[in-house]
Amino acid sequence: MSRSWHDVASLEQLRRDGSVVARVGGREIGVVLDGDQPKAIRNRCPHMGAPLCLGTVREREAGTPGSYRFEGRRVLHCPWHGWEFDLDSGVCPDDARMRAAVYPVRVSDGRVLVEA
């Protein structure tokens, strides 16, 4: 199946709501904001199917009890059980077997476009 760009929301709506979800080709794809950068990821957690885009984008912490530190990279934190996903690769840093599909995204004339 060939990929094409899909208009999923206005940039204004994305900024106001923090995330948007659209159905594209039978799949739910969400766009979340990482700072000012829109990132598109499938809205289904590979762990147990949570609506991943209801999660939060934040800096990843690593370590052991008593010695947590920020890793300097940001991840999407699943709202159900807290697994984290890299927004560029969709891979879970703690278990590379868990990966959510990610999609190219761009903004044009105030519209958010996802290639899928």
Q: Work out how close the CB of 88 gets to ligand FES at its nearest, in angstroms, rounded to a whole number.
A: 19
Beta carbon nearer to ligand FES, 11 or 54: 54
Helix, strand or coil, per DSSP, at residue 53: helix
From the list 6-14, 22-30, 77-85, 108-116, the region that binds ligand FES by CB under 6 A is 77-85
Contact 103, 41 (CB under 8 A): yes
Whole-angstrom distance, CA of residue 57 vs CA of residue 50: 15
Determine which residue in the list 80, 93, 99, 111 makes contact with ligand FES, applying CB under 6 A.
80
Whole-angstrom distance, CA of residue 28 vs CA of residue 93: 23
Cβ atoms < 10 Å from Cβ of 4: 11
Beta carbon nearer to ligand FES, 49 or 63: 49
Determine which residue in the list 14, 21, 53, 78 makes contact with ligand FES, applying CB under 6 A.
78
What are the start-end ranges of the H helices in 1-116?
A: 11-17
Question: Is 81 a binder of ligand FES (CB under 6 A)?
Answer: yes
Q: Between residue 33 and residue 72, which ones bind ligand FES under the rule CB under 6 A?
A: 45, 47-48, 50
Whole-angstrom distance, CA of residue 54 vs CA of residue 80: 9
Residue ranges binding ligand FES (CB under 6 A): 45, 47-48, 50, 78, 80-81, 83
